[in-house]
Chain A
Amino acid sequence: MAFERVLTRNVGRAAARTVRGYRESGGYEALGRALKLDPGEIVEEVKRSGLRGRGGAGFPCGAKWGFVPRGTDRPKYIVCNADESEPGTFKDRLLMEHDPHQLIEGCVIAGRAVAANTTYIYIRGEYTHAARVLEEAIRDAYDQGVLGASVLGSGFRHDVYVHRGAGAYICGEETGMLESLEGKRGQPRVKPPFPAVVGAFGAPTVINNVETLCCVTHILQRGSEWFKSIGTDERNTGPKLYAISGHVERPGTYEYPIGVTFQELLDGCGGMYRGRALKAFIPGGASAPMLTAAESGIRMDFDNLAKAGSMLGSAAVIVMDETTCVVRAALRLARFFAHESCGQCTPCREGTNWMRLVLERIESGHGSEADLDLLARVVPNVGGISLCALGDAAQGPVKSLIEKFGDEIRDNLRNRRYPLPRVPFFDLGAVA
């Protein structure tokens, strides 16, 4: 597909990690432009672009910025969500490691738009390398006058700090993240108030994903019309990173116009591993319900995936071939959610564990069809009335397992086929 890569244009170009090298690719021109605009105009430009959040929920970015109260002298904050802990997701790491200034530029533009003088980049604790790259880039940005008391000589102050998490998926949820930033256990808050009004340290706060902020940089560089011209329709606009893993020939992060079909993605990464048949794929990270081979023509954007009963989420595409036991796959994700539930809400705390236990029983060969029925009754009660979306997220894989593979599972249960034989990935004889 003839498509100019934008977000990943500096991937593999080591020079881009310095301010000087970044400027060679037009870097910090967008910021210069933003500093000449009235903050309200920046917000309007981002609204017009149709940019929706790349962190999972797809919330319109400009609208979120518009919720921040104006005309107060109180401190305000930008918090960049670099927690990236959704299983299957690794796109933000690529952006930070290869093009840190693209992100820093987006942070400062966001700060300018809502009159915030500080950005915290909350990065998952395990990303030690990305954190180091960012720290170095930030130091360089201070030295070059891009950050600090007078950004590019404009008189606008902006500081950017890297804040490391410490291993907890729930800190990717925006209010869990704020609690964690404040030095507490990362347990999500009751909403409202929303972070745009009461966020970090009690101050108005904008929380955006890494990729979202990188998109902002290009919107200010090339304009909202350009951004809008890419994608499926006016609700699904712009370039998008897809992180593809599992049983494909060349797993990796691929940039496409949002709304590329799954089949195009698959072809673009060399097809299925060893030419095996596709059984199922997860289009948007562990929280997104699975889809089957019959659905591989689907457009990978917010609305088309929602219509199909799944979601774009973080656009982490996990591909499973015919050798995969889908019960075992769902069990692995159920274990993840049971481990990561923060425990504040009973449906989520208990429900995630129940799903795990029942799936374990089925997968290990100790289950019956009655267990599948039990699972079907448990799933709808795991989310809903709780403080955050983790419970809802945990339902996704299991719900789709029952809907899409129920007949197959019943057949396997009736014929006592579990546990299914595990196909080893490494041929130990050959690897030696």
Chain B
Amino acid sequence: MSDGGRNSLPAEVAAEIEALRPRYPTEEALLLPALHLMQKAAGGWLSQASIAAVAEHLGLPPSKVAGVVSFYDMFHEHPVGRHRVRLCTNLSCQLRGSDQLMDVLRAELGVGPGEVTGDGRCSWVEFECLGSCDTAPMAMIDDDYHENLTPDRLRAALKGLD
């Protein structure tokens, strides 16, 4: 990512950011979209170099960008698994068995929340309400909602990940 000391964005990320530019009256407003795009292109997390590249592209101080990254739960400052499981454990899901699903994740993946499996395949976290309480308990795996989970359905979903 480093180019003679200069940080640069992957060209396709830069192009996507530029396409969004006319939507906003300020440069700064591009920051959240830019971070989403960068994180997706960079394997699900934002390294110091990625943060610096976004900062430079938008002409913002890297410390400012880092401060924004740390504020939001969807941005990750440390490596995550190739697949990310967000298990909702908020009240409606708790009432319908998310505790038991947490046990399933521990057993199947062999790691605790926030940890990555040894092969880098998967990481999981407890997450706040994902707005799918009518299909509780549920989890978000990568970009998809897995609803009305049972221990077996969760195991099957995990097995289906490459």
Q: Is the CB of B99 within 8 A of A127?
A: no
Q: Residue-by-residue, is B129-162 near A (CB-CB < 8 Å gives 1, otherwise 0)?
A: 1111111110010011100001110000000000
Q: Is residue B74 contacting chain A, with contact meaning CB distance below 8 A?
A: yes
What's the minimum C-beta distance from A176 to chain B, rounded to whole angstroms?
A: 10
Q: For chain A, residues 246 to 272, give those with C-beta under 8 angstroms from any C-beta of chain B.
A: 246-247, 251-253
What's the minimum C-beta distance from A121 to chain B, rounded to whole angstroms?
A: 12
Task: Given the known inter-chain contacts A87-B92, A425-B96, A431-B151, please indicate yes or no for A180 contacting B129, CB distance below 8 A.
Answer: no
Q: Residue-by-residue, is B76-88 near A (CB-CB < 8 Å gives 1, otherwise 0)?
A: 0000000000100
Q: Is the CB of A126 within 8 A of B131?
A: yes
Q: Which residues of A contact B92 (CB under 8 A)?
A: 87-88, 245-246, 251, 318
Interface centre among B71, B72, B151, B152 (most CB of A within 10 A): B71
Interface centre among A92, A126, A165, A316 (most CB of B within 10 A): A126
Task: Given the known inter-chain contacts A182-B26, A185-B68, please indicate yes or no for A424 contacting B131, CB distance below 8 A.
Answer: no
Q: Which residues of B contact A282 (CB under 8 A)?
A: 91
What's the minimum C-beta distance from B142 to chain A, rounded to whole angstroms?
A: 9
Q: Is residue B73 contacting chain A, with contact meaning CB distance below 8 A?
A: yes
Stretch from B1-9, B31-39, B106-114, B116-124 that touches the partner: B31-39
Q: Which residues of A contact B35 (CB under 8 A)?
A: 166
Tell which of B25, B36, B89, B100 touches A425, judged by Cβ atoms closer than 8 Å. B100
Task: Given the known inter-chain contacts A87-B129, A332-B90, A332-B94, please indicate yes or no for A182 contacting B28, CB distance below 8 A.
Answer: yes
Q: Give the nearest-CB partner of B136 in chain A.
A: A245
What's the minimum C-beta distance from B13 to chain A, rounded to whole angstroms?
A: 15
Q: Is residue A184 contacting chain B, with contact meaning CB distance below 8 A?
A: yes
Q: For chain A, residues 331 to 373, give those with C-beta under 8 angstroms from any C-beta of chain B.
A: 332-333, 336, 339-340
Interface centre among B90, B99, B151 (most CB of A within 10 A): B90
Q: Is the CB of B36 within 8 A of A333?
A: no
Q: Which residues of A contact B96 (CB under 8 A)?
A: 246-247, 425
Q: Which residues of B contact A422 (CB under 8 A)?
A: 99
Q: For chain A, residues 57 to 99, give those with C-beta under 8 angstroms from any C-beta of chain B.
A: 75, 84-90, 92-93
Q: Is the CB of A184 within 8 A of B133?
A: no
Q: In the bound complex, how far is the Cα of B130 from the Cα of A90, in angstroms?
A: 8
Q: Which residues of B contact A40 (CB under 8 A)?
A: none
Q: In the bound complex, how far is the Cα of B20 from the Cα of A51, in angstroms?
A: 34
Task: Given the known inter-chain contacts A183-B31, A332-B90, A424-B100, please indicate yes or no for A87 contacting B74, CB distance below 8 A.
Answer: no
Q: In the bound complex, how far is the Cα of B25 from the Cα of A251, in angstroms?
A: 42
B residues with CB within 8 A of A: 23, 25-26, 28-33, 35-36, 67-68, 71-75, 86, 89-92, 94-97, 99-100, 128-137, 140, 143-145, 150-152
Closest 8 CB pairs of A and B: A425-B97, A167-B73, A183-B31, A166-B72, A245-B133, A167-B74, A183-B28, A87-B129
Q: Can you add 19 more A-B contacts, CB < 8 Å, to A168-B72, A245-B95, A286-B129?
A: A92-B131, A161-B23, A164-B33, A166-B32, A167-B72, A168-B73, A183-B26, A183-B30, A183-B31, A184-B28, A185-B67, A186-B71, A244-B134, A246-B136, A247-B96, A329-B91, A425-B97, A426-B100, A431-B151
> What are 13 A-B interface contacts by the 8 Å CB criterion?
A87-B133, A88-B92, A88-B133, A89-B133, A90-B134, A93-B132, A183-B28, A246-B133, A247-B95, A251-B136, A424-B97, A425-B96, A426-B100
